[in-house]
Amino acid sequence: MTEVVNNQGTTERVAIVTGGSRGIGRETAARLGRDGYAVTVVYGGNQAEAEEAVKEVEQAGGRAIAVQADVADEVAVAALFDKTEETFGGVDVLVHAAGIMPLAPLAELDLDVFDRLVRTNLRGTFVVDQQAVRRLRSGGAIINISSSLTKLARPGYSAYSATKGGVEAITLILARELRGRDITVNAVAPGPTATALFFEGKSQELIDRIAAEPPLERLGQPQDIAEIIAFLAGPGRWVNGQVIYANGGSAA
């Protein structure tokens, strides 16, 4: 495939960002745009948010399109990779940020909700990573989003944390399966981060208490996580097969 050269005279890198219409994914898409990437913003249902994310990438200096896809549907995911290749000429980076976080104690969680969590968070990671392995160009990067909750072990998060533990296992093994391919595979595991997903269903008292826990005494911001992802997507070539816990120093 022909690689596109951007206005700076360098070869344009291309990224797919799932969950790119909001939260960490959206901030990451814009951050990669600032680095001159062409970005496919993948969204689940809210087209208006996705189009706004596209505009943010373009305003930051990149090119972008929005594509709707169920990340757990292998046909839809293959089609979004096809669309990215047709539009931008190839794929270099996958940032898999799509996920859901319904919460309840283990004894009370509806098993239909558990199945939906596993389908979106765990199967979704497997399906998206599988296409990335088949499609990414040499020098590429796969960056999955896990969670510091795999270590923090908060009550109510058993199902969510179980899916993210699976994401970390996939990440570490896949990095070793790609020996010789010059493709890095890492996971970023944010702590509490100021996104709609985090704020949903929480009282202000609980939010304040969680924000006070790390030594930096604040919630993470999507920008904090996006900077780490941008490093792994670009210059961080010697970081491979790692889970990076980005939580401001919160202790398990």
Return the structure tokens found at 224: 């904090």
Q: Collect all residues with Cβ–Cβ distance below 8 Å to 19 and sequence separation of at least 6.
A: 25, 42, 43, 44, 96, 97, 98, 99, 145
Report helix, strand or coil for 45. coil
Q: Dihedral through CA 153, CA 157, CA 162, CA 163, nearest 10?
A: -130
CA angle 12, 28, 199 (to 5 degrees): 165
* Cβ count near 146 (within 10 Å): 28
Beta-bridged to residue 238, according to DSSP, are: none
Give yes or no: 37 in active site. no
| Helix (H), strand (E) counts: the chain | 10, 7
Which residues participate in catalysis according to the annotation?
Answer: 160
